[in-house]
Amino acid sequence: MAEELPPHRAHVAHRVADADRWKAGFDDLEPARRAAGILGHHINRALDDPHLITVFLAVTDLDLARAFTSSYEQEEAMQRIGVLSRPRIEWLRPLRASIASQRQLPAFLLHRRVLDLGSWLAGYDAAAGRREADGIVGHSADRSLDDPSSVSVYHQAESFDTLRRHLATGAEREATFHTGGWAKTYDAPVMRR
């Protein structure tokens, strides 16, 4: 079943010293994210590098979220919880989503350039039956706000082998594989006064 899509999404990627320490600190920072109009998160760890963490954030107010992610306070907080690299943030417009968020699952993330978003999205929608037949249990598609010809596709399955079989020939080399989960939807955001 498709999710209600947030107005925007941020995809944040960074390296951490210790994933458990980072996760505990990330959880403690939820009130600050809520105050920035963030509705929830979905966390992934790279399969080939357990120190590489990516987080999808559901965003209500793009300007407020951008200010939050670039603030000195946020930078200080990230250093305290063991973030080793400057976060790479991609701002997205969600197109489709039906994510399995109650448990950890193998996933891949794939970036594509498209000439015509409407045609690409029609093809993506038409492939729903194939995704299901191939064992894909969760998926999302997002469009970059900075580069409208760039789309990101995220698929989840019960195994990495299932994901690899699903990918078109050659696409496996372009995809990054992750263990995804640790998702949470927040209560209504706490707005700053």
Give the mean model confidence (pLDDT) for residues 157-164: 96
pLDDT at 90 > cutoff 60? yes
Residue 148: exposed, middle, or buried by beta-carbon count in 10 A (0-12, 13-18, 19+)?
exposed
Rg (CA), the chain: 16
- Which of 16-20, 55-59, 182-186, 187-191 shows the lowest per-residue confidence on average (mean pLDDT)? 187-191
pLDDT in tens, 147-157: 999 999 999 99
Return d(Cα 47, Cα 58) in angstroms, integer. 23
> What separation, in Å, do the N-terminal and C-terminal C-alpha atoms of the chain show?
36
Residue 108: which residues within 8 A CB-CB, separation 6 or more?
154, 155, 163, 167, 175, 176, 177, 178
Return d(Cα 14, Cα 181) in angstroms, integer. 17
pLDDT band at 121; cut points 50, 70, 90: very high
Q: Residue 193: what pLDDT? A: 39
Residue 142: which residues within 8 A CB-CB, separation 6 or more?
9, 11, 92, 93, 94, 95, 151, 152, 154
Q: Residue 19: what pLDDT? A: 94
Please name every residue paired with 151 in a beta bridge, in sequence order, or none if there are none: 112, 143
Residue 39: which residues within 8 A CB-CB, separation 6 or more?
6, 58, 59, 60, 185, 186, 189
Give the mean model confidence (pLDDT) for residues 23-30: 95
Residue 144: exposed, middle, or buried by beta-carbon count in 10 A (0-12, 13-18, 19+)?
middle
Return d(Cα 99, Cα 96) in angstroms, integer. 10
As assigned by CATH, the class of the 8-185 domain is alpha beta
CA atoms within 13 A of residue 66's CA, in its CB half-sphere: 8
Q: Residue 187: what pLDDT? A: 74
Domain boundaries defined on the chain? 8-185
pLDDT in tens, 163-192: 999 997 667 788 999 998 889 999 754 544
